[in-house]
């Protein structure tokens, strides 16, 4: 690479602004650590007027013209714009110009990772993506290098700060989902269109990246069983809490005898566990390695400087020369990787939380419990509270370990009972390995 | 490097056995991940008979003769024997033979790190040392690469599993230090000679390594303020607990206006913090970065497979070719680093726990509190319990924020009072940054 290193950046939103700030504030430190100087030579944005208002970059290097941006000489391109199709085209153009790429874009990697990785290798450049998962937590570095000697048995992540903020507000302050969401938007934690976050899609995309790295397999987003937090009822949060559980949106990958289980959904976890204590917009990941046992990583999962920290660390690691070398052999999405062997969700064994709203009539509890009994499911706890509404009452059931398929069978039978009102709720209760 | 990669190992104790097991169990995975095969060609031990008993390595590659060991062709030497002088000589021989070195030896690095690093660079080989701190937690990787864009403001570590096991037993089960230590020895958590662990020296050596990495300075072991857990009284553990604190042996490095503060000592920390909840032989590290804010890392700090995980990950990273490249520019102990600017401990500001055993006579409390008042120290809480011994009573005082030097001054005055029995106890109460 040339000296100084010429950096192009696509996007000057939250993360891009953070990157510009770090490059300015720490120029001297970065020069000492890399032995070279870093120069931001171009910034591609949609709206140059708006970008000028940030006061973070000189007008001379700002452009809204992709052709002008890609016409200049660059060594590294930072893609911090987001989106899939347009961002993907930009990344391909950068790679074909023999630029190394740093991206924070989990949606792009989940959709086009294997293709982009192959293209980068063909062009002898690297793609670095620490910022795509877990914001400022160096979890990609840990999985790629620090834990390299392990087979990973399981990983459990809180990977979406918006969801975790909303859930924390519901649990700790008794807010409804709608109220907590409105507040998250007000505080800037949630986007105007919150769908990608609250549907669990964002966390699932991160799980694609992490599980591809951890398990040496090709994973696609549609292979992840997905349930968002947008249908959560505050009553379930409260019932769980009474029984000693906290509700979290977990991205989970578990090696089982039946194959790899991949899920992103709201789960009940024991209040005493480390993941249960990850509050507000923080992220965390529990990794169970064959040699390390349990390791746990925690930090800010989003925000201007934490995510920029990951982008700029990637940049420095590229400039230092070692990351491109590491990328050549990195175990993510190589063509040689086998497709993932997915576990049949019906075969998944675990405990479950069930809530069934029933007509408050004699004999209804017997019908519920016998439906479960018929499917071979034994019950750990049952809870029925008085309700203001005298017509229906929620019955909450905690199962012992059971096959998910059997629980679904029983639940279908329960849903069809004449005394059942609405659709029964099922949520997994996740017990972590001993580690 | 040749193919297959020829590996020599010095030591076949706990960690060495773990390494041998991992290399055997995961040979296929490692070959896939590195594109080459790994062959253990020689193992240097003190006692070949004992080594044979492990059944882990062939007799043909075992030797107790250093000259024979170093006469063979090797690409990488793993030093997992421990100790300083002899191990240092072995590492130098390996480097001069142009072998890369992986070491788990924090004592060696703390004593001879700068010298060994310089020698390695001269010989164009690398030294990898993930296993030297935090066992299976990839904390060296995180600090060296994942957090590279940050200035580190502070780090707080639970880095010695033996001490943490003993303290956990004292706190949770009310055992005395002596009883908890005896049990730790029985369970194999503590060495026959426990001095290095319980004096805090082992954790201080790890702090030398971590703070050299984190702060781009030269640090030596004698620059770290040190207090062990071996003088802890169960009553202090209990008094702290009553006030909402857990006692932990913390290795701490903090950037202050007065310079870098480096300490390894038992501290009171709020029970609700993540570090307070690190129990038994687990290790953890809280790192506060200028861009990431608070990040936290947790895992098994010792033991056969967790530590071997770090050694073998280092090995794989060397074999992959990227680590030697990274080592060339790694910001640890280069000759260009300035000596550390140490903060004067007297200038350190914090809260303190004091216990003074006093004659149970009228007016004694007034004397204690006026000694503190004279030094400008204000009191947050005072506790005096009834005691069985009617002659003396322990007075426990929690100060507000104060300069350590002022507290020491007041404590000297208190120690000299005629009513004071024995030596007053002072322990820091550590409040973590907001992060």
Would you state the pLDDT for residue A148? 94
**Selected residue of A280, A282, A295, A434 to mutate for chain B interface (largest B Cβ count, 10 A):** A295
Task: For residue B264, give the 3-state DSSP assignment.
Answer: strand
- Active-site entry in B121, B175, B206, B403: B206
pLDDT value of residue A358: 93
Give the integer Cα–Cα distance in Å for A268 and A265: 10
Above 90 in pLDDT, residue B55?
A: yes
Per DSSP bridges, beta strands A282-289 and A152-158 are antiparallel
Rounded to 5 degrees, φ, ψ at B153 are -85, -35
Write out the catalytic residue numbers of A: 206
Asked whether the predicted pLDDT for residue B1 surpasses 70, the reply is no
> DSSP string spanning A331-346?
-SS-TTSPBP-BPPGG
Q: What does the DSSP assignment read for A193-215?
A: S-HHHHTSHHHHHHHHHHHHHHH
Mean pLDDT of the region B69-80: 98
Q: Are A225 and A264 in contact (CB under 8 A)?
A: yes
Q: Which H or E element spans position B278? A: none
Q: Which of B179, B159, B190 is nearest to B265 (CA)?
A: B159
Mean pLDDT lowest for which of A320-334, B76-90, B341-355?
A: A320-334
CA dist A78 and B30 (Å) reads 32
Query: Per CATH, the architecture of B139-301 is what?
Result: 2-Layer Sandwich (3.30)
In chain A, residues with a C-beta closer than 8 Å to the C-beta of B18 are 291
**Bridge partners (DSSP) listed for residue A79:** A10, A103
Residue B12 burial (CB count, 10 A): 25
Which among B151, B293, B309 has the least Cβ separation from residue A292? Answer: B309
Which pLDDT value is given to residue A59?
95
Question: Between the CA of residue A54 and those of A26, A49, A104, A310, what are the distances in Å?
Answer: 19, 9, 20, 21
Neighbours of A366 (CB within 10 A): 10
Round to whole Å and give the CA distance between B404 and B8: 49
Give A376 to chain B, closest Cα distance, Å. 38
Fold for the domain defined by A345-430 = Alpha-Beta Plaits (3.30.70)
Of B297, B311, B322, the CB nearest to A325: B322
Inter-chain CB proximity B291 and A297 less than 8 Å: no
Domain A5-128+306-329: assigned CATH number:
3.40.50.720
Residue-by-residue pLDDT tens, chain A, 435 positions? 668 999 999 999 999 999 999 999 999 999 988 889 999 999 999 999 999 999 999 999 999 999 999 999 999 999 999 999 999 999 999 999 999 999 999 999 999 999 999 999 999 999 999 999 999 999 999 999 999 999 999 999 999 999 999 999 999 999 999 999 999 999 888 777 899 999 999 999 999 999 999 998 889 999 999 999 998 999 999 999 999 999 999 999 999 998 999 999 999 999 999 999 999 999 999 999 999 999 999 999 988 999 999 999 999 999 999 999 999 887 666 666 778 899 999 999 999 999 999 998 888 889 999 999 999 999 999 988 777 667 888 999 999 999 999 999 999 999 999 999 999 999 999 999 987
Supply φ then ψ for residue A264, to 5 degrees.
Answer: -135, 110
For residue A209, give every residue at least 6 positions away whose Cβ sits within 8 Å of its Cβ, in sequence order, or none.
A106, A109, A110, A113, A129, A132, A133, A140, A332
Write the residue in A293, A294, A313 that is nearest to B149 by C-beta. Answer: A313
Q: Which residues of B touch A309 (CB under 8 A)?
A: 147, 149-150, 289, 291-292
Q: Contact at 8 Å (CB) between B135 and B283? A: yes
Question: What is the ipTM for the molecules in this complex?
Answer: 0.96
Q: A300 and B292: CB-CB below 8 Å?
A: yes
Mean pLDDT of chain B: 94
Q: In which element (H, E) is residue A42 found?
A: strand A38-44
> What pTM was estimated for this model as a whole?
0.96
Of B26, B141, B216, Cβ closest to residue A146: B141
In this predicted structure, what is the pLDDT of residue B334? 61
Map out the domains of chain A as residue ranges.
5-128+306-329, 146-301, 345-430
| Per-residue model confidence as pLDDT tens digits over B105-146 | 999 999 999 999 999 999 999 999 999 999 999 999 999 999
Q: Chain B residues with CB inside 8 Å of A299's CB?
A: 292-296
Mean of pLDDT values over B402-419: 96
Query: How many interchain CB pairs under 8 A, A with B?
Result: 205
Length of chain B: 435
Q: Is A349 exposed, middle or buried (0-12, 13-18, 19+ CB in 10 A)?
A: middle
Mean pLDDT to the nearest integer, B417-429 = 95
- Report helix, strand or coil for A53: helix
Q: What's the token pair of residue B8?
A: 């020599």
Residues β-bridged to residue B382: B397
Give the position of tokens 């968002």.
Answer: A228
Q: How far is B424 from chain A (nearest CA, A)?
A: 36
Concerning whether B206 is annotated as a catalytic residue, the answer is yes
CB A137 to CB B295 under 8 A? yes
Residue B2's pLDDT band, with cuts at 50, 70 and 90, is low
Q: Which CATH superfamily is domain A146-301 in?
A: Dihydrodipicolinate Reductase; domain 2 (3.30.360.10)
Most A CBs within 10 A among B15, B272, B295, hence the mutation to make, goes to: B295
Q: Tell me the C-alpha distance between A258 and B376, whole Å.
A: 67
Residues 6+ apart with CB under 8 A from A249: A158, A160, A163, A164, A167, A200, A203, A228, A229, A264, A265, A266, A267
Tell whether the model's pLDDT for residue B275 goes beyond 90. yes
What's the confidence (pLDDT) of residue B265? 98
Q: Residue A383 corresponds to which tokens in the numbers above?
A: 């809870």
Nearest to A33 among B148, B322, B323 (CB): B148
For B40, list phi and psi in degrees, rounded to 5. -80, 110
| A71 Cβ neighbours under 8 A, 6+ residues apart | none
The dihedral of CA B263, B264, B265, B270: what is its sign?
Answer: positive
DSSP A347: G
Q: Do A141 and B137 touch (CB under 8 A)?
A: no
CA atoms of A5 and A88, how far apart (whole Å): 23
Q: Rounded distance, CA A57 to CA A67, Å?
A: 19
Q: What percent of chain B has a predicted confidence (pLDDT) above 90?
A: 87
CA distances, B52 to each of A270, B2, B245 (Å): 45, 28, 48
C-alpha A304 chain-centroid distance: 17
What's the confidence (pLDDT) of residue B195?
94
Contact A291 B300 (CB under 8 A): no
Q: In this structure, is the dihedral angle defined by the CA atoms of residues B252, B290, A299 and A179, taken in order, positive or negative?
A: positive
End-to-end CA distance of chain B: 44
Question: How far apart, in whole angstroms, are the C-alpha atoms of residue B255 and residue B343?
Answer: 8
CA B222 to chain centre: 14
Q: For residues B310 and B360, what is the distance between their CA atoms, to the nearest angstrom?
A: 55
Query: Among all chains, which residue has been given the structure tokens 């004593």?
Result: B111
């Amino acid at each position: 690479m040339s000296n100084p290193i010429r950096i192009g950046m696509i996007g000057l939103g939250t993360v891009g602004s953070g990157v510009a700030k770090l490059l300015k504030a720490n120029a001297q430190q970065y020069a000492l650590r890399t032995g070279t100087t870093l120069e931001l030579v171009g910034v591609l944005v949609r709206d140059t007027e708006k970008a000028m208002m940030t006061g973070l970059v000189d007008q001379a290097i700002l452009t809204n013209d992709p052709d002008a941006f890609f016409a200049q000489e660059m060594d590294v391109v930072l893609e911090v714009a987001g989106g899939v199709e347009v961002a993907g085209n930009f990344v391909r153009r950068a790679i074909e110009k023999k630029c190394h790429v740093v991206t924070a874009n989990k949606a792009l990697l989940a959709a086009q990772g294997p293709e982009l990785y192959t293209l980068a290798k063909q062009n002898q450049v690297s793609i670095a993506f620490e910022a795509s998962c877990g914001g400022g937590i160096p979890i990609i570095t840990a999985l790629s290098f620090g834990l390299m000697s392990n087979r990973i048995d399981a990983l459990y992540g809180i990977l979406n700060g918006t969801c975790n903020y909303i859930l924390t507000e519901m649990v700790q302050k008794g807010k409804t989902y709608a109220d907590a969401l409105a507040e998250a938007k007000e505080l800037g934690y949630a986007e105007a269109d919150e769908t990608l976050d609250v549907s669990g899609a964002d966390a699932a995309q991160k799980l694609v990246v992490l599980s591809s790295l951890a398990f040496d397999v090709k994973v696609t987003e549609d292979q992840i069983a997905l349930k968002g937090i947008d249908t959560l009822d505050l009553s379930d949060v409260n019932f769980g809490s009474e029984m000693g559980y906290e509700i979290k949106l977990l991205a989970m990958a578990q090696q089982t005898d039946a194959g790899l289980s991949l899920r992103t959904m709201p789960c009940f976890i024991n209040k005493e566990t480390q993941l249960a204590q990850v509050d507000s917009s923080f992220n965390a990941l529990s990794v169970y390695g064959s040699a390390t046992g349990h390791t746990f990583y925690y930090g800010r999962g989003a925000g201007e400087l934490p995510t920029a920290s990951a982008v700029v660390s990637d940049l420095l690691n590229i400039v230092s020369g070692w990351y491109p070398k590491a990328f050549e052999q990195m175990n993510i999405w190589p063509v040689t990787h086998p497709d993932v062997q997915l576990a049949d969700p019906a075969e998944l064994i675990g405990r479950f939380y069930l809530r069934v709203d029933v007509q408050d009539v004699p004999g209804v509890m017997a019908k519920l419990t016998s439906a479960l009994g018929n499917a071979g499911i034994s019950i750990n706890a049952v809870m029925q509270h008085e309700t203001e509404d005298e017509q229906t009452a929620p019955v909450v059931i905690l199962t012992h370990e059971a096959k998910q398929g059997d629980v679904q069978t029983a639940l279908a039978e329960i849903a069809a009972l004449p005394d059942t009102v609405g659709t029964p709720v099922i949520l997994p209760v996740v017990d972590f390995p001993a580690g």
